[in-house]
């Protein structure tokens, strides 16, 4: 496990968010350190997506403090978050299937071959391909060819490309929304190994998932939300499945459902 800093990379204090009559978040505290993987779990409607979208700047929080690298930040847009080197990878991945891997990695950030750039400047494909190969190799992502269309890639490979795009711009914190959803066993393993490599490189990583097996395998801490409020902050290496299920549901459902504390392989919430 990578060494983590004592100072949180991201720290949210007493965060609240309302949508009309719905109070989505109520004084939520959340933090993640560099070199740490934090799992964010909870039932549907617990506030996970609201918290992640607020962190990523899709909408501002109504109340609370947003601190990054120990400094209070005012977040009004996604651009404000991008300037902090925070990137998010959502379930849809936002990949263009008709473009190759290199084009997807540089989408909207293409390198100009002309000294002065501009809308009519030629794209420097050689520089882009070399940089793409370096990033993918650094993450140990195995692809048949960086010029293959993303439509031809497996689910795990597509997820890896989306993550590589998020980290290739010197990111410090990466938010992953259901990164193993709808993936097979081999593809899931590929994505979990990739998350470990992000941690080894010193990035902070937040993983939102209903797959508790994946959360226990790759996370250092597990933060539980229930009905928009904090329901627990657990050390993933010392807590049990039953404790997490109880925090998520508010009931002793782990024992009632017949879950074994050492068996997370079939638990999805």
Q: What is the per-residue pLDDT across 119-178, written as a single tens digit (0 to 9) for each?
A: 434 567 888 899 899 999 888 888 889 999 999 998 899 999 999 998 888 899 999 999
Q: Could you give the CA distance from residue 209 to residue 6 in angstroms, rounded to a whole number?
A: 26
> Is 196:174 a contact under the CB 8 Å cutoff?
no
Residues 65-105 have pLDDT tens digits of 999 999 999 999 999 999 999 999 988 888 999 999 999 99
Report the predicted TM-score, pTM, of the whole model to 2 decimal places: 0.85
For the chain, the structural domain boundaries read 26-256
CATH code of the domain occupying 26-256: 3.40.50.300
Rounded to an integer, what distance in angstroms lies between the CA atom of residue 9 and that of residue 203?
9
- Tens digits of residue pLDDT in 211-254: 999 999 999 999 999 999 999 999 999 999 999 999 999 886 54
**Residue 256 pLDDT > 50, yes or no?**
no
- Distance of CA 251 to CAs 34, 47, 53, 245, Å? 33, 19, 28, 8
């Amino acid at each position: 496990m990578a060494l983590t800093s004592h100072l949180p990379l991201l720290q949210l204090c007493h965060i609240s968010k309302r949508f009309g009559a719905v109070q989505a978040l109520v004084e939520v505290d959340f933090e993640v350190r560099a070199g740490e993987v934090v799992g964010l779990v909870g039932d549907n409607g617990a506030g996970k997506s609201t918290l992640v979208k607020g962190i990523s700047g899709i909408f501002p929080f109504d109340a609370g403090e947003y601190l990054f690298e120990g400094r209070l930040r005012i977040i009004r847009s996604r651009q404000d978050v991008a300037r902090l080197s925070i990137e998010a990878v959502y379930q849809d991945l936002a990949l263009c299937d008709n473009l190759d891997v290199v084009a997807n990695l540089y989408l909207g950030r293409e390198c100009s071959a002309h000294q002065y750039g501009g809308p009519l400047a030629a794209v420097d494909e050689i520089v882009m391909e070399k940089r793409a190969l370096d990033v993918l190799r650094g993450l140990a992502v195995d692809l048949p060819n960086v010029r293959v269309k993303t439509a031809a890639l497996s689910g795990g490979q597509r997820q890896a490309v989306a993550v590589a795009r998020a980290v290739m711009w010197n990111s410090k914190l990466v938010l992953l929304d259901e990164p193993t959803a709808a993936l097979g066993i081999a593809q899931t393993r590929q994505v979990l190994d990739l998350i470990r490599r992000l941690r080894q490189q010193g990035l902070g990583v937040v993983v939102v998932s209903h797959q508790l097996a994946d959360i226990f395998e790759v996370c250092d801490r597990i933060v539980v939300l229930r009905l928009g409020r904090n329901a627990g902050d657990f050390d993933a290496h010392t807590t049990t499945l039953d404790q997490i299920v109880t925090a998520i549901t508010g009931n002793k459902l782990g024992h009632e459902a017949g879950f074994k504390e050492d068996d997370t392989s079939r638990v999805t919430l």
